[in-house]
Amino acid sequence: MPHMRRLATLLLAVVLGGVLAGLVRPAPASAHDVTTTAQAEVFGTGTNGANVKVVLELEYDLLMKSAWLYAEAYEAKERAEQLRQLTINRDAVTTYVTRRFAVAYEDKPCAPTQVGAADIRLRDKVAFAVLTFAYACQGDGGGAHAISSALFPDAESFVHSTKTIVRYDVDGEKGSAVLAAANPTLRVGEHPAPNQIGEFFLLGAEHLLFGLDHVLFLLALLIGARRLRDVVITASAFTAAHSITFLLAAMGIVDVPGQIVEPIIAGSIIVVALANLLGRGEDRLGRWRLPIVFAFGLVHGLGFAGALDIDQSGSWELLLSLLSFNLGIEAAQLAIIAVLFPLLVLLRRTPAARWGVVALSVPIVAVSLYWFVDRIPPPL
């Protein structure tokens, strides 16, 4: 049994080390070990029913690097300078995007033209270029569109596993889909529900696993939960709370700015990790466990919704995507619990159990405190 306990301690150290190592990530688009998600809204325009308008949101520095522009373009940090670079490099950016994002009608390519001025939008403190394109399609309506994305492929070596979330309202149909290298094309009217469920399920699981703030919050909760009953109650409260706000926010019913949500998420991790350090009893959060977990779960749900960035009105197609995304989050959460909780149980049976709690909680507090300060928006 002692060797099992030592093994549990070692595995926990490896897991936490891996999580904390992931916090020291390079800036977006600086290496091949990061990924990105593009956003695309596609909707029909004009009287012929064939032409469409596309609004794309693409990570700014990645876009400028992929278009092979100079460092002064992709290293720009101020909004005014980013907008200036998008203006003076409009042709290069348009060429890059239109070669990799395509719309076809009845299998005939539609001709893209960038319209209006580019804009910049911040998402989790990362600048995204907002570009609008008009696609002129041949036809008089009654046909079907195909939407394809090969944006930021692995071959460009800046990022990997790029996904494009497409929301569409064309050909009399509304829906959403995830385009990736394995399935780069959406044919409107031929996108079966099982594919949609699988795509958003995987997207949700990836978001939890790679959303290190959510992982640390879950780890902090597990450190303080000494019995399996505590884990079940805690996980149920967290799931119920974040599911409520996730669906309300993603459907556009609740709207809380990210600059408010993100610091609170970091603060929630600090509170739970400090409770693990300062508490003495069996349950370090005591009778406050459920209210605290539920309240912070509500905030984390807003953070999950920010990953999809959906502001369309409700529809059955959209609801299916949201539910699939949320199920992916739950599956990843259960997988983390299944791996970590047994290791924590073994660790608590060693003489160094108290020091183990300290060794796990102190780095969580330190990292979360950094996040909290970093996420507070600067004064206007």
pLDDT digits (tens, 9 = 90+) for 233-286: 888 888 888 888 888 877 777 878 778 888 888 898 898 888 888 765 455 556
Q: What is the pLDDT of residue 286?
A: 61
Q: What is the pLDDT of residue 7?
A: 47
The overall pTM is greater than 0.85: no
Per-residue pLDDT, averaged over 53-82, amounts to 93
More confident residue, 162 or 309: 162
Any idea which of 112-116, 176-180, 347-351 has the lowest mean pLDDT?
347-351
pLDDT band at residue 30, thresholds of 50, 70 and 90?
A: very low
229 vs 227: CA distance, rounded Å? 5
b/e map of 9-34 (b: 16 or more CB within 10 Å)? Answer: bebbeebbeebeeeeeeeebbeeeeb
Structure tokens at 112: 């893209």
pLDDT band at residue 24, thresholds of 50, 70 and 90?
A: very low
Contact by Cβ (8 Å): 40, 167 = yes
Contact by Cβ (8 Å): 25, 34 = yes
324 vs 302: CA distance, rounded Å? 16
More confident residue, 359 or 310: 359
Handedness of CA 111, 102, 104, 174 (dihedral sign): negative
- Mean pLDDT, all residues of the chain: 81
E-assigned strands of 163-215? Answer: 163-170, 173-179, 185-187
Q: What is the pLDDT of residue 33?
A: 46
